[in-house]
Every structure is written in C-alpha cells, then in structure tokens.
Structure 1
Amino acid sequence: MLDVSQEEITDGPIGRVLLLLAAPLVAQNLVYVANALIDTFWLGRVSEDAVAAVGLSLPIQSLLGATVVVAAVGTQILVAQRVGSDDEAGARRVAVNGSLVALAITVAVAVPVVLFAEELVAALGADPTLAATTATYLAIVIAVLPVGAVGDTVENCFTAYGDTRAVLHVSVASVLVNLVAAPVLIFGVGPVPELGVAGAALGTVLAGIVGLTHILAYAGGIYRDSFRLTREAFVLDVSALREVVSVGLPLGGQRGVSELVRVLVVSLVAIAGGAAGVAAYTVGARVATLAIVPALGMQQAAQSMIGQNLGADEPGRARRTTTVGTGIVVTGFLALGAVQFFFAGAITDLLAPDLTATGRELSVLYLQLLAVTYWGLGGTYTLLAGFNGASRTRTSFVADAVKYWGIRFPIAVAAVPTTATFGAFGVAIAPGLGWGVEAVFWAVAVSNVVGFLGLGAYFYYTTRQGMFVNAAERAGGGASDDGAATGDD
C-alpha cells in the first residue's frame, strides 16, 4: 500500500507521493524516538538525578552524531541523484564508499570520547556525582557509535531509492529489543543485576546492534530485492569518497554548530536551574524530538524525491516538492502545538512523575513555549531538504550557525546569574543577566521562529535565481526550457 515506484517519484502527484514516502519514515522515526524515550520513561521512575544524567549526555551524543550525518545524508543525496539518472551501479558504489566514510570518521571520534568520558562531562560544570553517572552512560553508548553510523548510512540508501518500508522494519526490530532490555537491565530481573543508568545505555547498544544486522540483511537481498549491494559494488572509489565528504561535510558542520550550542546551553541550564532545570530541559528535549518526527520524515522523503527529480532533469518539480512539503508540515505542526500546549502538565507527569514541584513547573513552561513554535521548527526541516537535495548543503550549515550562535546562544546566556561566570569546555563568558533558566527556554522558542522566517526568505530568493535548474544540470540533465525561463518553475 505504501510502495512508491521511481516513475511516481518523478511524475506522480507531489503531495500524495511525498506522504507515501514519508509515512514509513515518520513511523520509523517515531519508533526511533520511542527507543530514546524508553530510557527517560524508566529512569524517571528511578530518580530525578537519573533523568538529569541522561539529559546531560544527550547534547554530547548529538554533537558526536554530526560525524554520522557527514556520511549518512551525503550518501543519501548522491544515491538519490544517481538513481534518478538511472545509474544503478554508481548508486551502489556510493553506498559502499559512503559506509566506509561513516566507519572511518566515527571510529576516530568514538575512541577518545570513551577513554575520556568523565573528563568531558565534568567540563560541563555538573556536580561530581551527576558527572560520574553521566560519563558511564555516555561511554557505553558512544562505544558503538560506528555501528550506528554504518547502519544509518545503509538505511539512507534505501530511503534514497524510495524503499522507506525497509527502514521502518529495521527500526521496529530495534525498538522491540530495547523495550524488553531497558527495564530488565535498569531494575534487574532474575539473574540480571540492577544496573540503573548503565542498564539504560546497554539496552540502547543492543538495539543498535540488532538494527545494523537487520539492515545488512536487507542490503544482501535476504528479505526483499529493492536496493541491493552486489559484489561488484565493493570497490574503493576515491572519487565517490571525495564526493560523499564534499556533500556531507557541510551537513555535519551544520549539526556540529547546532549541537555545540546545545551542549553549552545544557551547561547554562545546569548552572541556572540545577538538577530540576536539567530534568525539565530533558523532558522538553525528549518531547520535542518526538514532535519533530513528522518533519524529519518529510525532510528525508523530500531529499530523496528532490534528488531523483534533479537527476531526471525536473527542476520545477523539485522546487514544488519543497514548497508542498513545507506547507504540509507547517499546517500539521500548528495543530500538534495546540495539543501539546494544553496538555503540557499531563505529558510531564507521564514521562517523569517523580520530578520535584520546581522541576514540574519548569517542564510545563518549556513544553508550552516549544508548542507555540513547532510550526517554525518543523518548516525549517523541509526548507532545508530543498537546499540539501540540490547539493546546496553549505546553506544548511550557515542557516544553523546563524540560528544557534547568532540568536539562541546570546539570549540563553541571560540565564546565568549576575554573580556567576559561565564556563564550559574552556569557554568563559562574562556574568549573565540573572533571568534564570526560563531565559534558555525563551531562547529556543525565539530562534525556532526567526530561523524559519529567515530561511524561507532566502529560499524564495535562491529559487528565483535558478537554484534547482543549476542543480539539475550538475546532476546530469540539462535545464528544461520552462525552468530556464522562470527560475525553477
């Protein structure tokens, strides 16, 4: 029912095809986020400090996840363009070499992080007890970062090809493992000892290993024969390696600049709000991650669809895919935000019932501020899909640099007490304005809206300058006559 042919991707109704492609990806991402929420759910029944420990590690994990993006998304964009231009052999070679890039980069960053996890976490300014617990969780999860990186890269090849159901199946298998493993390892059942936070990390590790095994089985043609890695594809191709890095590096930089700010912001939260503030920020971050799943699924689907249409010399259709996808997401997120706004208290009680009164109050406030800005956050993902699909990945880097460093971080610094000096990872900043941890929550909300409006204006400008026409020419086709006449229309 959700199968989409390559002909439909380049010639079918845009809205319908986007939704069909995105549906399994949305479900897959929901499963992925549910996998992350499992830790918060069970640890929320251990203690506030346990929730805060995982929350403190999240921005560091996401920062390191920038290395995964380089290969995973760079490979997806290039595979989609080659599939659109009927270069199946080239698509497979890119997939193999993209996986090699993923493995090399993530091994290089995972080893030192595992070895110096405690020092890394302590640099955030957390108290020694919280830092030690967080370091344990972080070291275990990052030890298998290369496994997840290779798995994500291969999964993205299926997405680029249009087989999004395979990705969903893999994610379901992974979350089922964690669903069982997490409570058993956290609380201890039978001969399994009670491991607490370390048990939550081990459950996540087991889920990642199962996911990689499953997607490699798909790539070997065991379950179905859509995108398949044949023996001929396993060739070291230096030009493909360079191309993956060239396209993916700005996207890794984009993730890096945004996640570095998140790391610093968590440090601000720890200073201004203590354990209660970090726990509230963690609840909000987890829920927001769940809320943006539809936008992320639409972005992934749109990038593949845009890439294939550019490879097939359809620049106008690539542009319309971006605008239609953005319209769908913004409309849906207005409704989603309204639901979260009115049920913020119930959401907090469900995820972390053992929060203190202060922690609960802060969590409700943050959830409500996020809710009224979801439309801007979600719309940004689909606008960036347009630039990424056209290989204009540097735009994503610049957009996030402005959003996070130019807007979010300067506002968030106001949270620091006037009597304290903020410092993390060797960064020292003068005392803040003493506005409290609430200033951090407002910083996130304001940057979501301003970032979307600015990016939307730039998208309009670049499309009128022929961005998609030029991208189609680079992808292997000549610009169509109607596209050349009116920019991308």
Structure 2
Amino acid sequence: MWDVDREAVTDGPVGRVLLVLAAPLVAQNVVYVANALIDTFWLGRVGEDAVAAVGLSLPIQSLLGATVVIGAVGTQILVAQRAGDDDEAGARRVAVNGALVALAVTAAVAVPVVVYAEEVVTLLGADPALAGTTATYLAIVVAVLPVGAVGDTVENCFTAYGDTRAVFHVSLVGVLVNLVAAPVLIFGVGPAPELGVAGAAIGTALAGVAGLLWILGYAAGIGRDTFRLTRRAFAFDPATVREVVSVGLPLGGQRGVSELVRVLVVGLVAIAGGTAGVAAYTVGARVATLAIVPALGIQQAAQSMIGQNVGADAPARARRTTTVGTAMVVAGFLALGAVQFLFAGGIADLLAPDLTAAGRDLAVTYLRILGASYWALGGTYTLLAAFNGASRTRTSFAADLIKYWAVRFPIALAAVPAATTFGAFGVTVTPGLGWGVAAVFWAVAASNVLGFLGLGAYFLYATRRGMFANAAERASGGEAVAGTTDDD
C-alpha cells in the first residue's frame, strides 16, 4: 500500500501530502539519530574520554559520508523524476546503477581510511591518549560504509516513490539491533567480552548490515510492492551512471565542503577547549543532529515531491511545495529552539552525566547558542530540497561552500590564540584572537542564520527566472525556456 498515491503527490493538498510523506521519514530519522545517540549514551557512562574519542571520529565519518550522498541522493532525485514521468523501467535502471556508484565510490575511500585510521586521527590533532581508541572506533565504523551506502541508495528509491514507511521500518530494525548489541559489547554482558569503545563501533556496524538485508528484501518484493527491482534492471548502463554522478557529485561536494570545515573546527575546539571542549562540542553536535530530524524528513519528502512534479510538468506546484515546507519548518524550529534554550542543562545531564564541571558549562552554553539558530538551520534544508529536486545540485554545493568556508571557519578561528599551531593537519593559524571555544559555538550559529537568509534570497531570484519550469522542460527531454517563471 502506498503512503501517498502518485496522483496525490502531483495533485493533492500540498501541506497535507508533504506531512504524510514526511512523517515516516521524521520517525525514521529519529530512529537513525537514536542509533547514533546510543553510543554516546552508554559511553557517557564509561567516562569523558570515551565520549571525546567518539566525538573526534564523528567529523571524519561525516566527511566520508559525502561519498554516500553522490550515489544515494543522486539516485533519489532521478528516480523521483522518472516516477513522475511514469518511466518504471528507467527508475529501476537508475536504482541499480546508482547503487553501483555508491558501492564503488565509498569502497574507494573506506579501504585506505581503515588501513591508516591511526594516521588519519593523528592528522586531526587528537590527544595521544585518545588517538588509539578513536582510531579503533573509526576503522570499524568505516569498514561497513559501503554496506550503508548501498542500503541508503535503495531506501531512497522507496522514498522517491512515496513509500516512506519502508524506510522507517529499515531504520527501526537497525536501531533495535544496536540497542541490544551496544551495551552488551561495551560492558561485556554474559559471554561477550568487555570491548568499550570498540564494542560501540561493532554495534553500529551490525545495525548497518541488518538494515541493508531488510531493504533488499523489500526491493525483492518480500512484504512490499511499491518499488521492486526486477532481473532486467540488473545491467550496467554507463549513461545512467554518468547521469547519477552528474546530479550526485555536486551534492557530495556540498557535503564534503561542510564536513571538512567540521573536521577543522573540531581541531580548533581541541586547541581552545581541550577534552572538556571536545566533549561539550560532541554533546551539542549529537543534540543538534536529533533536533534537525524533522527538517531532514521534510527535506527528503519535499525533494521527492518536487522531483515528481518536475517530471509531471507542474512547476508551480513544485514551488509551492518549497514555500509551504519552509514555512512549516521555520515555525516549528522557533519553538524547538526555545525549548532547548530553556532546558539546556537538563539535556546535557541526561546525555552525558559524567562530564566535568567545565565540560558541562561549555555544553550548556553551546546548546543555548545552537537553539537560537535552529529556525534558520531547519529552513535551509527545505530550500536546498527545491534546488536538488530541480536538479540544480550545483547551487546546493555553492551555498554550503559560502556558508562554511566564508562564514563559519573564519569566525571559528577567533577561538584560538594568535600564531597557534593548528592541530588539524599541522596548519599554523595566525589570525586567532584568543576568544576561547565559545567563539566556535557562535560561528556555527552565525553561519546558520546567514546561510538561510542568503539561500532564501537566491531562491526567490531563481524561481522568478523559471527554475522549476526549465527543470520540467529538461526532464521531459525538451529545451529550457528562457524568460519563463514558475507561475507560468
């Protein structure tokens, strides 16, 4: 059974359809983030060093995640457009070749990182006391990156078709596996050895494998009939591979430029705030990841809706999907940010009760600063969905390039003293002002707000220039029409 039938995606009430599509995706992302929070929750009972070790590996994992985006999100956009054009065979062909792209690209980066994990962590500037533990966690998690990439790509095909419940089911299976495996392997329950941080990584890996097996079962027609891969679809198609890469590569670049800044910022946090600063930054990053789940769900749903409406030659509806989605997210995130600001101390205590006094104070400060910028952070996701759904993925890349490299990183540099040897990659930082680790927290908030305002202004300009109308022309195999607007 479809969550939303194809006619509703292109003709039904935009707000209702968007919420119905997004609801399972929001639930799926809550489960996904809960899967990540399980490690922090249990390791928070081990000690501050364990939390910091995982925190140091997170930016590297996220940076490598940019390679997953190339195949997974590129595939989703193209499958949605073909679904809107009723091209079932083409959608299946994109799915198979997109999965091949995801597997090849992620394997190419995962293998060297696993082999040289300790060297990678050392380049990041990790404290020698944390380097070995961090490298162990990183190597185990990255080893299963290609598995997760293929699973994400197939899941995105179900999302593109409107079957968002299937994606939720897969994530639920993964978190249940990790929920059991993590504490057993971390603390050593029964015959299982006490593995500490390594146990947390193995639990995460087992969850990824379980999710892949489940979604492949759905794609084979076991318990699901919305999107199905047939034998005929399993053929290498160079043209389709090129198309997936063409759409997905700018999105991978977008993710890469943002995550590289996060890697560098963690180095700044380590210099300016030490272990307490890194632990506080980890708590804030984990909470923010959970907080943006509703926006991410709306983005994924909007991306599929916009792609299908572009394929169905309905540019005005594609634009309305963006504006309605953005308004809903901004309003909701204003309330969410206020809650986080008021209860920052309780959130920090719940997630990591064994933080030192200094670590807790920094975590509370970061949580409050983040909460004040949530409305802009959330709204950015739906605006990016508009450009992605219209295959304007280079715009998303440029937006994040400006947001992270022209705004966030320069402000964050003020945290460290002048002429400090920057821990990440041994770069010497000369423009530091010694403002302390709080400058990094403010840099994150400022880049969120300025990024949203700039992208919103460009969205208005692009739609007046006929962004969606031109995308519909291209999707149908025609030529873009100059001078049109999306209201035509």
Q: TM-score, normalised by structure 1?
A: 0.98
Which amino acid is the alignment partner of residue 190 of structure 1? G
Distance in 2 of aligned mates of 1:245 and 1:311: 19
Q: What secondary structure is seen at the aligned counterpart in 2 of 1:123?
A: helix
SS in 1 for 2:124: coil
Aligned partners of 1:311 and 1:475 also within 8 Å:
yes
Question: What is the match of residue 76 of structure 2?
Answer: 76
User: Which residue of structure 2 aligns with residue 298 of structure 1?
Assistant: 298
Question: 2:58 maps to which residue?
Answer: 58
Instruction: Identify the residue that residue 282 of structure 1 maps to in structure 2.
Output: 282
Match of 1:272 in 2: 272
Match of 1:396 in 2: 396
Matched, 1:461 2:457: no
* 1:147 matches 2:147: yes
Three-state SS of the structure 2 residue aligned to 1:65 is: helix
**How far apart, in 1, do the equivalents of 2:448 and 2:441 lie?**
11
Deviation at 1:190, TM superposition (A): 1.1
Residue 178 in structure 1 maps to residue 152 in structure 2: no
CA 1:45–1:2 in 2, change beyond 3 Å: closer, same or farther?
farther
CA contact (8 A) 1:316 1:468 kept: yes
Instruction: Look up the match of 1:102.
Output: 102
1:441 maps to 441
How far apart in 2 are the matches of 1:126 and 1:405? Answer: 22
**Which SS does the other structure have where 1:202 is aligned?**
helix
Counting only pairs closer than 5 Å after superposition, residues 35-434 of structure 1 correspond to structure 2 as 35-418=35-418, 420-430=420-430, 432-434=432-434
**What stretches of structure 1 move > 4 A for 4+ residues in a row?**
477-481, 483-486
CA distance in 1, matches of 2:295, 2:198: 31
AA partner of residue 130 (structure 1): L
Distance 2:335 2:117 in 1: 41
* Structure 2 unmatched runs, 5+: none
- Deviation at residue 488 of structure 1 after TM alignment: 3.5
DSSP-derived class of the 1:192 partner? coil
Amino acid at match of 1:171: S
How far apart, in 2, do the equivalents of 1:427 and 1:241 lie?
A: 37
Q: What is the aligned residue count? A: 488
Query: How many Å apart are 1:484 and its aligned residue?
Result: 7.5
CA drift of 1:3 comes to 1.6
Identity over aligned residues, as a percent?
Answer: 80
> d(CA) in 1 for partners of 2:166 and 2:348?
33
Q: In 1, Cα distance between the equivalents of 2:487 and 2:405?
A: 32
Q: Distance in 2 between matches of 1:122 and 1:132?
A: 9
- Quote the offset at 1:480 in angstroms: 12
Residue 48 of structure 1 deviates from its aligned partner by 0.2
Paired residue secondary structure (2:428)? strand
Alignment RMSD, CA only?
1.5
The whole-number CA distance in structure 2 between the counterparts of 1:307 and 1:114 is 36
Cα pair 2:469 2:484 within 8 Å, conserved: no
8 A contact 2:219–2:228 mirrored in 1 = yes
Looking at structure 2, the residues matched to 235 and 35 of structure 1 have their Cα atoms a distance apart, in angstroms, of 34
Deviation at 1:103, TM superposition (A): 0.5
| Code of the aligned partner of 2:204 | T
Cα deviation code 1:297-349 (max 9, x no counterpart): 00000000000001000000001101110000000000111111000000000
In structure 2, what is the Cα distance between the partners aligned to 1:171 and 1:484? Answer: 44
CA distance in 2, matches of 1:479, 1:6: 26
Aligned to 1:476: 476
CA distance in structure 2 between the partners assigned to 1:439 and 1:2 by the alignment: 48
Q: 1:408 touches 1:444 (CA, 8 Å); kept in 2?
A: yes
Which amino acid letter does the alignment assign opposite residue 24 of structure 2? Answer: P
Partners in 1 of 2:225 and 2:306 — Cα distance?
23
User: Which one-letter code corresponds to 1:388 in the other structure?
Assistant: N
Query: Secondary structure at 2:420's aligned position in 1?
Result: coil
Which residue type is aligned with residue 370 of structure 2? L
1:322/1:101 CA distance change after superposition, 3 Å: same
C-alpha displacement of 1:487: 3.8
The superposition leaves residues 99-121 of structure 1 with CA deviations (integer Å, 9 ceiling, x where unpaired) of 00000001100000000000100
Letter of the 1:395 counterpart: T
Determine if contact 1:338/1:371 at 8 Å carries over to the other structure. yes
Once the two structures are TM-superposed, the CA of residue 132 in structure 1 deviates from its matched residue by 1.0
Distance 1:175 1:40 in 2: 14
CA distance in 1, matches of 2:285, 2:140: 21
SS in 2 for 1:225: coil
SS in 2 for 1:194: coil
**Counterpart residue type for residue 376 of structure 1:** A
**C-alpha deviations, 1:266-299, integer Å up to 9, x for none?**
0000111000000000000000000000000000
Aligned mates of 2:179, 2:267 — CA distance in 1: 30
CA apart distance, 1:417: 1.9
Deviation at 1:224, TM superposition (A): 1.3
Offset, 1:426 = 4.7
What letter is aligned with 2:435? W
What does the per-residue CA deviation read over 1:243-269, in whole Å, with 9 as the maximum and x for residues that have no partner? 000000000000000000000000000
Shift in Å, 1:129: 1.4
Q: Secondary structure at the match of 2:256?
A: helix
Q: Post-superposition shift, 1:131?
A: 1.1
Displacement of 1:124 in angstroms is 1.4
Distance 2:458 2:419 in 1: 41
Shift of 1:418: 3.0
Does structure 1 conserve the Cα–Cα contact (< 8 Å) formed by 2:473 and 2:480? no
SS in 1 for 2:152: helix
Matched AA of 2:252? G
